[in-house]
Amino acid sequence: MEPDRRDYVVRIDAATVLRVTVAYDAGQLQEWINGAVNAYRHNFVGIHAEPRPFRAIHRRLQPAFRAVFVAIGRRVLVIRPPIAGDLPRIFLNFILRLDHLPTFVGMDMPRIAEWLHETRRYEMRRIIYVRELAARHTGRQELRNAGLKRIVQEILGRSLDRYVVSRRFWQNRWSSEHLAPELVTQGSIRVFMGLQVAQAIEGFIWDVDEQGNS
């Protein structure tokens, strides 16, 4: 089996390239924080966890988190157990180095916030649930139960059919010892597009430097 890779480039289209880091120790986490702080230009931080929950299944029977994705601009951090326990420290270190308190954005924020509070004793004080935000923005209540592909289509007018596939296709692979590149790509696109939806609704515009990185 091939060893774990640390750095990835995920290209959504010609103008949208994500720089992804899979962190395996505290030193790599801190290195990512240092770079992310310099790239931070907005109020939002994206967060996403895999595998995603199944509907109509009791919370105690839902799959445990196997990977957590954090997006700041077009930089994405991927954290896997056991160092997921460092997530509160990541958030705290990041927040302490900013001029204002960031807002965490994601498709499954209630579950993520609950997990951080119950297992890590960390309370996310400012969160945005992308489904709720999209429903309020459009006045379409059915978006409260919609998936990411539909919300992106409705808000951004973009299709994710070629990028995002059913959770059932990947479900068992999240427990593998080595995180496959396809899984890194899936999670990175999901966390970034959720972030873009929130920014589009709130009227933010990406600041892009000469290298095309925000």
β-strand partners of 166? none
Tokens of 158: 């973009």
What pLDDT sits at residue 214?
Answer: 38
Q: Tell me, what's the pLDDT at 205?
A: 38
For residue 186, the one-letter residue type is Q
Class of the 7-202 domain?
Answer: alpha beta
What's this model's pTM, rounded to 2 decimal places?
0.83
Q: What is the mean pLDDT of each run of 10 residues along the chain (214 residues)?
A: 70 89 82 77 84 64 79 89 68 68 87 79 83 93 93 92 67 78 91 94 50 38
